[in-house]
Amino acid sequence: MYNETYFLDENTALQALQAGDTRSDSVVIVLHGLAVSKEVHITEITRLNSEGFFSVAFDAPHHGSREDGWLEVLRKLDRREQQQMMLSCVFQQAQEISVIVKHFKDLGKKVCVIGISMGAYTTFALLRAEHKPDLFAPFLGNPDFRAGRYSTLSPSIPEISGPADHLDEVFPASLFMVNATKDHIVNALGSRNFYEKLRRIYKTKPNNLEYFEYTNSEHLMLPEDWFDAWDRFINRLKREKF
């Protein structure tokens, strides 16, 4: 496992933590959640490496190597304002990762993006990005970006920019979604409803769409559920010949 630098343009560089053979025909991009950093998924990156996958993890804007005081401001806001700030981070990272996806595709690689929590929101946002991965794997996220129970106000433009409000742009993307029924941070209902609506759209490509909901887990999933979800994810990678 080692650090690498990727350039979005002449003036913008992203630090990455990566493992595996860079000559691989595919890459798994790993995106972390709110208020942590790319290093939180060293265990998962190590697992991917042990299974023969090349993986790259990036810090979200304002996180880890990019920390700039943004999180301190976020913690002082009410829930609606926090939602708006988080979405600004999500959309910024989605733009960045779209560029990274193009970089790897230009090298001839298949690309998967797996995101956890806030990283799952970014993964969902990539469904509407210019450069899309070949497999989307949002864990513990919500494709509906509306503030919902945190606000009685009309939704903002960012809140209606999630894929749940743009179902016509999703098919035939390959999706592998994971949520937890007892999650009180990210309600599983959003992904559950999204999946049920997509099932009708995906009738001609049902194998492209998978959703797993763990009934006994919260946002911090039970170890056995977390490991099971990763086993299923790795099997999906193998099935799609990553």
Report d(CA 56, CA 133) in Å as an integer. Answer: 14
Report d(CA 58, CA 11) in Å as an integer. Answer: 17
| Residue 188 confidence (pLDDT) | 96
| Residue 157 confidence (pLDDT) | 72
Query: Could you tell me the CATH number of the domain that includes residue 17?
Result: 3.40.50.1820
| Residue 161 confidence (pLDDT) | 84
| Residue 98 confidence (pLDDT) | 98
Are 176 and 236 a contacting pair, CB within 8 Å?
A: yes
- CA dihedral (18, 20, 22, 25) in degrees, to 10, reads -120
pLDDT digits (tens, 9 = 90+) for 16-70: 999 999 999 999 999 999 999 999 999 999 999 999 999 999 999 999 999 999 9
| Residue 153 confidence (pLDDT) | 56
**Where in the sequence is the domain holding 37, given as residue range(s)?**
2-239
Binning the chain into helix, strand and coil, the percentages to the nearest 5 are 45, 20, 35
DSSP letter for each residue of 23-54 = TSSEEEEEE--TT--GGGGHHHHHHHHHTT--
DSSP 60: P
| pLDDT < 50 positions in the chain | 151
DSSP 131: S
Looking at residue 66, its amino acid is R
pLDDT digits (tens, 9 = 90+) for 169-182: 999 999 999 999 99
Q: Count of domains in the chain?
A: 1
